[in-house]
């Protein structure tokens, strides 16, 4: 029974990790074609095909750190779908892939973030450990001080120390105002504390510097949808986001229409909300949250 409990706990921790491996707002990498293909397969939930592509890539290019990093991300998605008893096996594969990526290219910050998060939440019996995670955070800081603060903020959140996390995230924003991950992490932390006006300020400050900053426009729409506050600002922001010619890859058009629908719902504009949610589902039929909200509103 004890061993089974370890598996259950480990699986729950891995779920928390794996859901956050690719952090919204993370600095985009220049991706090779193989990574783009794997990413598209993951989004289409064709995970077996994604594993096949990832393993073929690492076999063909065994010294390519990005190949191993993406294979780790593929394995993480498989772990989410796996049975509770097979999750530890997938976790071992995730760990091995990320460790190989970092060993091959220690300057790959995204791979270090992935490995750090694995260490941060996986039990020691599954290869995790706080000290291992902290070592990765310190290594990240040695490469990029601002992103080192983000890593330490994540560690503080793991330790349930929101004040320390906020200090680290604010330090990251101060050092690198255009670092999207820092602003998103800070705003998410403030949102969880219902400090909505402070969360909005994170992005309105950025828009004062860069009026067409895509991520800030999207996030203001998201905050309006979550809080029910400043709905007119949220709708205007998300509409401006949708009007942009180029948008961040991690914030697809379908997600923007979903947020827009929720804002319109809160404004009492039900038919427009339904139209926005239908558009979201049309663009991405796998968007479960949008489908649930469409059904909830009777669409």
Does domain 1-130 match CATH 1.25.40.10? yes
- Provide mean pLDDT across the span 200-208: 97
How far is Cα 66 from Cα 58, in angstroms, rounded to an integer?
Answer: 9
Provide the CA 30 distance to its chain's centre, in angstroms. Answer: 17
231-274 tens-digit pLDDT:
999 999 999 999 998 888 889 999 999 999 999 999 999 999 99
How far is Cα 43 from Cα 156, in angstroms, rounded to an integer?
Answer: 30
- The domain ranges of the chain are 1-130, 144-193, 196-299
81-110 tens-digit pLDDT:
888 888 888 889 999 999 999 999 999 999
pLDDT of residue 29: 52
Among the CATH numbers 1.10.10.10, 1.20.120.160, 3.40.50.300, 1.25.40.10, which is that of 196-299? 1.25.40.10
CA Rg value for the chain: 20
114-136 tens-digit pLDDT:
999 999 888 888 888 999 999 99
Phi and psi at 22, nearest 5°, equal: -105, 100
- Provide mean pLDDT across the span 157-169: 95
Contact 217, 240 (CB under 8 A): yes
- Provide mean pLDDT across the span 167-179: 96
How far is Cα 287 from Cα 297, in angstroms, rounded to an integer?
Answer: 16
**Structure confidence at residue 70 as a pLDDT band (50, 70, 90):** very high
Contact 148, 142 (CB under 8 A): yes
pLDDT at 183 over 90: yes
Are 1-130 and 196-299 the same fold in CATH?
A: yes
Mean pLDDT of the chain: 89
Coil, helix or strand at residue 195: coil
What pTM was estimated for this model as a whole?
0.84
Coil, helix or strand at residue 14: helix
């Amino acid at each position: 029974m004890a061993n089974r409990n370890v598996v259950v706990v480990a699986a729950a921790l891995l779920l928390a990790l794996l859901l956050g491996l690719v952090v919204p707002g993370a600095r985009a990498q220049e991706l090779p074609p193989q990574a783009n293909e794997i990413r598209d397969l993951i989004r289409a939930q064709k995970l077996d095909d994604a594993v096949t592509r990832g393993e073929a890539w690492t076999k063909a290019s065994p010294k390519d750190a990005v190949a191993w990093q993406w294979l780790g991300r593929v394995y993480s998605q498989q772990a989410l779908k796996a049975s509770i008893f097979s999750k530890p096996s997938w976790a071992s594969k995730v760990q091995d892939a990320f460790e190989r990526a970092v060993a091959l290219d220690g300057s790959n910050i995204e791979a270090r973030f992935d490995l750090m998060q694995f260490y941060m939440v996986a039990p020691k019996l599954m290869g995790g450990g706080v000290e291992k995670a902290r070592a990765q955070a310190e290594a990240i800081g040695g490469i990029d001080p601002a992103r080192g603060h983000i890593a330490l903020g994540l560690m503080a959140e793991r330790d349930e120390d929101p004040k320390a996390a906020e200090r680290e995230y604010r330090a990251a924003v101060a050092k690198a105002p255009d670092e999207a991950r820092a602003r998103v992490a800070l705003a998410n932390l403030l949102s969880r504390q219902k400090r909505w006006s402070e969360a909005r300020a994170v992005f309105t400050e950025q828009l004062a510097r860069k009026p067409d900053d895509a991520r800030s426009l999207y996030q203001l729409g998201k905050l309006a949808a979550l809080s029910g506050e400043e709905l007119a600002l949220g709708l205007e922001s998300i509409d401006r986001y949708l009007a942009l010619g180029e948008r961040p890859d991690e914030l697809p058009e379908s997600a923007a229409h979903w947020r827009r629908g929720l804002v319109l719902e809160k404004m009492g504009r039900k038919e427009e909300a339904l139209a926005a949610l239908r558009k979201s589902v049309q663009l991405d039929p796998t968007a479960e949250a949008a489908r649930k909200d469409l059904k909830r509103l009777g669409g």
